[in-house]
Amino acid sequence: MPGLIGKKVGMTRVIQEDGQVIPVTVISVPDATVTQVKTVDKDGYEAVVLGVEPLKKPTKTKKFRTQKEFRFSELPEMNATLSVALLTEGEVAKVTVTAVTKGRGFSGGIKRHNFHGSPASHGHASKAKKGGRRTGSVGACAKPGRIKKGKKMPGRYGNDQQTRHNVPVIKVDLENKLVAIKGAVPGPRGGAVLIKY
């Protein structure tokens, strides 16, 4: 699946002519350079490695800040430049967006799994003071005498790769190299976003 590499700018809204308000995420898509062309004879499959944001001090193996591999039906030439115009030439209506979510570190059950916590009314004050956000009882009986795998408990939350499929493209700004897609996109502002079409 061919694609482009972008950077999340933020969210806004687009008001259509009929008055409908659509929330969109704006993604900046700089021109990508083909850094490597993989062929069946050499690598066993056909693919293209794209790079964006050239480094000030490139090394022998890395010349761009972000490099990702995509499958193109027609392989472009080496050092070719791919722009956001690819999303308008074929009149792409929907895309697949992949990004890494915000990392929230070690989080408790309330934040990680939406647990409700202890009551804070009269008679529960002592329990709430001791830890109204605690998970509570998690153990089983003497048999099996252990906690089952997959139990919802505190732990690392976020910093996971997420993909949204069939996301409508609302607007493409060729002059400023921006793409507005419907809804939210995972990740923080400035995070790398893969747009596949």
- By the 10 Å C-beta count (0-12 exposed, 13-18 middle, 19+ buried), 101 is classed as middle
**Burial of 117: CB neighbours in 10 Å, binned 0-12, 13-18, 19+:** middle
> pTM of the entire structure?
0.81
First vs last Cα of the chain: how many Å apart?
7
pLDDT at 8: 97
8 A C-beta contact, residue 171 and residue 93: no
Joined together, the tokens standing for residue 149 give: 């795998």
Q: What's the confidence (pLDDT) of residue 30? A: 93
pLDDT in the model for residue 73: 79
Is CATH 1.10.10 the classification given to domain 3-102+163-196?
A: no
Q: What does the pLDDT profile of the chain (197 residues) look like in tens digits?
A: 688 999 999 999 999 889 999 999 999 999 999 998 998 899 898 999 999 999 999 888 888 999 999 988 788 888 888 888 888 755 668 999 999 999 999 999 999 999 888 777 766 555 555 667 888 788 888 888 888 899 999 999 999 999 999 999 999 999 999 999 999 999 999 999 999 98
Q: Which pLDDT score, from 0 to 100, does residue 91 have?
A: 63
CA distance 133 to 84: 47
Contact between residue 169 and residue 179 where contact means Cβ atoms under 8 Å apart:
yes
> What is the number of other CB atoms lying within 10 angstroms of the CB of residue 8?
21
Q: Return the structure tokens found at 175.
A: 């002059």
- For 37, the token pair is 């062309």
* CATH 2.40.30 in the chain, residue ranges: 3-102+163-196
